[in-house]
Amino acid sequence: MTGPCFPDVRVSEFCRIAVLGPGVLGGSIALALRERQPDRAVVLWGRNVARVQEIRTSGWPAITDSLADAVADADLVILAVPVDSLEELGRNILKVGLKQGVCVTDVGSVKVSPHQTLGRLMNSEGISFIGSHPMAGSEKTGFGAADANLFVGASCILTNEHQQPERLVTQLEIFWKSLGATTAIMTAQEHDRLVGRISHLPHVLSTVCAITALEQIEDGRFSGQGLRDTSRVAAGDPSMWAEILLQNRSQIIDPLQSAASALSKMAEDLTKQDRVEVLRALKEGKKRRETLDREE
């Protein structure tokens, strides 16, 4: 199913890649590889037999529900499953057997916990584990929402808590760059602090926005693009996000409390009709938001 490794593929590249989990991220990795790196062999794995068959008939034949077949001879194994499923899946791939010298990575948006569980497990068996977090995704779910261009221009953060060789880290960087991403390396702790503010906090605020603004559901028919933009990510998978927030709670609580304080101050300033403070907050928010546009 995975086919041969083409002779013109550079030594620095992974020839055979197994993507475990055919959701938006896993599916997007597979589609991006087919489009941007056709010389690499890639196979998808899913545990749901019916879902696997559906994806196969949709035009992606390189998919299997056999974990052993998926990881056989793989140089890179990507775990594209929810954070709370990583350790169990890690134990299962060790049971079916991995190729010597394989690199295992994940795509989860929390990193301290996976390194403490999956990473330690792999390390104890002599398997190299390096964390990956492509800062890309969608509020939609499933292979049908996968996009070959999802990673173009996105950042991908790598975490190497188990001190794998620099050569292997570089290989993984090259892999993500081949999909269009830019890469950065940091500690798992720093990663979780960062995404707690720039990813997880916005999701909570988007959820709060949807709950509060649409207190009267029927009001939604009058909403403009502002509400749609602000609440968009709240449409993400609740089960997945509940696990992310719980896993990274130590890094989210402080930003949430800061956000609550900012909202309370805005309410207080409005109550006092303090135009100066209201205007100051709005100008500061505008200035900081504009820094994102300069990075595009």
Q: Is residue 2 part of a domain?
A: no
Dig out the tokens for 64 from the structure: 């299997």
Chain-centroid distance, C-alpha 213: 28
Residue 236's contacts (CB-CB under 8 Å, 6 or more residues apart) are 137, 139, 203
182 and 202 in a single domain? The answer is no
Q: CA distances (Å), 284 to each of 248, 259, 267, 269, 290, in order?
A: 28, 14, 17, 15, 10
204 and 96 in a single domain? The answer is no
284 and 164 in a single domain? The answer is no
Domain final position from 142, 159, 186: 186
Confidence (pLDDT) at 10: 43
Q: One digit per residue, pLDDT tens: the chain, 296 residues?
A: 434 443 343 434 799 999 999 999 999 999 999 999 998 999 999 999 999 999 999 989 999 999 999 999 999 999 999 999 999 999 999 999 999 999 999 999 999 999 999 999 999 999 999 999 999 977 788 898 999 999 999 999 999 999 999 999 999 999 999 999 999 999 999 999 999 999 999 999 999 999 999 999 999 999 999 999 999 999 989 999 999 999 999 999 999 999 999 999 999 999 999 999 999 999 999 999 999 987 55
Angle at CA of residue 23, ends 167 and 107, nearest 5°: 30
Q: Is residue 111 part of a domain?
A: yes
CA atoms of 1 and 126, how far apart (whole Å): 27
Confidence (pLDDT) at 140: 80
Assess contact for 195 and 186: CB atoms under 8 A.
no
197 and 132 in a single domain? The answer is no
119 and 224 in a single domain? The answer is no
Q: What range does the domain containing 148 cover?
A: 16-186
139 and 220 in a single domain? The answer is no
| 7 residue type, one letter | P
| CATH number of the domain residue 282 falls in | 1.10.3660.10
166 and 56 in a single domain? The answer is yes
CA atoms of 182 and 190, how far apart (whole Å): 18
Q: Is residue 6 part of a domain?
A: no
Q: Is residue 286 part of a domain?
A: yes
- Phi, psi of 37, rounded to the nearest 5 degrees: -135, 65
259 and 196 in a single domain? The answer is yes
| CATH number of the domain residue 98 falls in | 3.40.50.720
Q: Is residue 4 part of a domain?
A: no
226 and 153 in a single domain? The answer is no
Local structure of residue 116 (DSSP, 8 states): I
Domain final position from 156, 186, 216: 186
How many domains are contained in the chain? 2
154 and 32 in a single domain? The answer is yes
Q: CB 63: neighbour CB atoms within 10 A?
A: 24
76 and 155 in a single domain? The answer is yes
Assess contact for 27 and 45: CB atoms under 8 A.
no
Confidence (pLDDT) at 243: 93
CA atoms of 45 and 112, how far apart (whole Å): 25
Q: Is residue 28 part of a domain?
A: yes
80 and 170 in a single domain? The answer is yes
Domain final position from 186, 217, 252: 186
Confidence (pLDDT) at 16: 95
